[in-house]
A and B are shown apart, each in its own frame.
Chain A
Amino acid sequence: MLFALVVANLKMLVRDRMALFWALAFPLIFVVIFGLFRLDEPPTTTIAVVDNAQDALSQALLSGLGAVKTLKLEPYPDEAQAHKALADGKVRFALLIPAGLAQSPNHPPLTLLYDRSRVSAPVILGVVQRFVDEMNLQMAGVPRLLTLRAEPVQSRQLGYFDFLLPGLVGMAVMQFSIIGMAVVMASYREQKILKRLLTTPLSVRTFFTARVVASLVLALVQAGIILAVGDTLFNAHIRYGSLGYAVPLILLGNIVFLHLGFVAGAFSRSVNAASGLGNAIAMPMMFFSGVFFETSSLPKVLAVASQYLPLTPLLDALRGVLLEGKPFWAYPGELGILGAWVVISGALAVRFFRFQ
């Protein structure tokens, strides 16, 4: 009887277009968008340059700036044309080098014109400023005492997309389970399907066990598809040897989310209300649990609080397993929080369940 019910539930889940949207289309849209726009490779910025000095010093400055990978220098014959290019939006920055730059002692100042609305403006200003400072030091003959050597410590170069992909897996599993379960519970109650089942010898426990088993199976399929798309289309750096370690994590998280969806469904009077309430539970986690960025970049209080949401430990452990190849038991703290959530959300689900 349980097997037949699991199969029936799988059929229903796969045939429900709304559920499939949340399960696959929604997360895959993110995968494709972030896969196409590689955010960790900064775009190049063009700077219009008017060199009225044409001396050794200006040459040194420009060759230094030209060596910066993300900057592209475009020479302009005079200031008027540079201003026009800036006004027309052809360039966002213009560097004006006055004549007689090298004439000591009163060097005329360099001018950097920029579009204030540009997000990248402070970065570019910083880069140019650094070069100017460097040249100042060299010209003053100050000895360099401190140097910085930057060295990447990861053995493999992991980019933002790699960070994002496990996040999207967690998000997809969460949304599908919370919203899907809430909507199904509300609609079964609204359409009196639960009551109809109550007239048969089927036990309530069997009915919900079947639903949970079907959801768990689909969550694994869902995770597999998202990882496969991220890998084949956009070359994510997933450690396939560790996929097995991700399974218990996904199952554990999914149980919590199903419980939460169940509670949301119990509190909703209609299908629409259930969908709204499910979203209200899932959305904050999507933003505060580190799907798109590390929780450490949140304000302190939120960062600490977010550690206790169920999605945060799931994502932390999932990233460790999928990206660094660690076993899931390397995350006892995360597993503890998830385990606590299983118990709490399960108790809530039992407490608030009602048939009619």
Chain B
Amino acid sequence: MATEPAILVEGLVKRYGSVVAVDDVSFTVAQGEIVGILGPNGAGKTTLLETTEGLLTPDAGRTLVLGVDTHRNPQKVKERIGVQLQASAYFEHLTLKEILTLFGRFYKRRLPPMELLKMVGLEEKANTTVAKLSGGQKQRFTIAATLVNDPEVVFLDEPTTGLDPQARRSLWDFIQQIHRQGRTVVLTTHYMEEAQYLCQRVAIMDRGKIVALDTPANLIRRLEQPFVVKLACPRPLPLEALGQLAGVQGQVEHRNGTYLLRSADGTATLRDLLAWAEAHAVPLEHLEVTTATLEDVFLALTGRQLRD
């Protein structure tokens, strides 16, 4: 059983009228993995997730969760998964503890409400209503509520959207904690930092298709220019000269005295740049070589920015 994939999606197609939201998608997620689906709004991430959870009926293909067909045996799947929907609320006239107790009743297997609240640091709010929580607390509670049945697979749909950076950080810690408890976690996001920080593997999704699925490091390594050289200079530099340095490919970006070079070979570019700067007596105020980000991967794979 342990070798069975947590999630298996095969040839999945979901249409809304003439719009193909999910276009022939296949992938697997191993048990205990934490996988992110990264893509811009409208890429089909939510539809893919909700079809896999059994909320939506696919037009073609099949989805298995822990070896059980989501659409043939939805009740059995629902017992074993925890689902956090994008921006869904809970009963406004019940307290946090009452909501968790009630939701626990829907399952055969359940965790004690106070234990769940403690896990997200909300045990002092047990007797208040959701309306009295801050944005970050609300989101933490929402995720705690997905754990009432001690699920083996947890689906999180844009868990940190709309949160401030601090609240996002604390939620990341909590999501990692869920993963460390041995649960499989699948989350969608349009924040590349989030995918890079949290996920063992990242699926890049665009226009209904998964265009790449690998570890963040591998995705970046596969880029033609996996390095970014950033330099600053008080006086204007000739862009053509920079573009001809060893390893540099593509357009040189220039913004407020800072230059950005994409390179296939970071070491060669750096060596060549230093020699060129010395020969032309160019004072370099700032110089750094970094690896590319998932943002660059997305741009290279789709020709578009992750956020428009």
Contact = CB atoms under 8 A, between A and B. Distances in A.
Interface stretch (A81-89, A199-207, A230-238, A262-270): A199-207
A193 B105 contact: no
A36 to B, nearest CB: 33
B89 A199 contact: no
Given A4-B105, A195-B88, 10 more contacts: A8-B98, A12-B91, A12-B93, A12-B94, A191-B88, A196-B90, A197-B106, A199-B53, A200-B103, A201-B78
Nearest to B75: A201
A193 B130 CA distance: 13
B107 A200 contact: yes
A206 B204 CA distance: 40
Interface string A1-22: 1001100100110011000000
A217 interface: no
Contacts of B212: none
For the residues of B in contact with A, the DSSP-based class is loop
Contact of A191 (B89, B93, B101): B89
A193 B89 contact: yes
B78 A11 contact: no
B94 A1 contact: no
Chief secondary structure at chain A's binding surface: helix
Instruction: Give chain B's interface residue range (CB within 8 Å of chain A).
Output: 20 to 34
B91 A192 contact: no
A235 B89 CA distance: 47
A8 B102 contact: yes
- Looking at A11, A12, A195, A199, the one whose CB has the most chain B CB atoms below 10 A away is A199
A200 B83 CA distance: 8
B103 to A, nearest CB: 7
A137 interface: no
B20 interface: no
Contacts of A201: 75, 78-79, 106-107
B301 interface: no
Interface string B45-83: 000000001110000000000000000000100110101
Contacts of B87: 192
Nearest to B89: A191
A196 B88 contact: yes
B107 A195 contact: no
Interface of A: 1, 4-5, 8, 11-12, 15-16, 191-193, 195-202
A121 B101 CA distance: 67
B149 to A, nearest CB: 8
Nearest to A12: B93
Contacts, number: 57
A172 to B, nearest CB: 20
B223 interface: no
A200 B88 contact: no
Contacts of A16: 93
B273 interface: no
A82 B79 CA distance: 88
A196 B83 CA distance: 8
B248 to A, nearest CB: 49
Contacts of B107: 200-201
B91 A200 contact: no
B85 interface: yes
> What 10 pairs between A and B have smallest CB-CB spacing?
A192-B88, A191-B89, A199-B83, A15-B93, A12-B93, A202-B106, A200-B106, A4-B105, A201-B78, A196-B88
Nearest to B74: A201
Contacts of B93: 11-12, 15-16
Given A199-B53, A199-B78, A4 B102 contact: yes
Contact of A1 (B53, B90, B105): B105
B117 to A, nearest CB: 18
Nearest to B76: A201
A265 to B, nearest CB: 16
A185 B149 CA distance: 26
B286 to A, nearest CB: 47
Contact of B91 (A193, A195, A198, A199): A193
23 contacts: A1-B105, A4-B101, A5-B102, A5-B105, A8-B94, A8-B102, A11-B93, A12-B91, A191-B88, A192-B87, A192-B88, A193-B90, A195-B55, A195-B85, A196-B85, A196-B88, A196-B90, A199-B85, A200-B78, A201-B75, A201-B79, A201-B106, A201-B107
A193 B106 contact: no
Which of A15, A193, A200 has the most CB atoms of chain B within a 10 A radius of its CB?
A200
B148 to A, nearest CB: 9
A8 B91 contact: yes
Contacts of B103: 200
A320 B241 CA distance: 100
Contacts of B102: 4-5, 8
A143 B149 CA distance: 95
A199 B157 CA distance: 13
B231 to A, nearest CB: 49
Given A16-B93, A199-B55, A1 B88 contact: no
A355 to B, nearest CB: 9
A143 B91 CA distance: 80
A1 B89 CA distance: 21
Interface string B151-175: 0000000000000000000000000
Contacts of B106: 1, 197, 200-202
Nearest to B79: A201
A12 B98 CA distance: 11
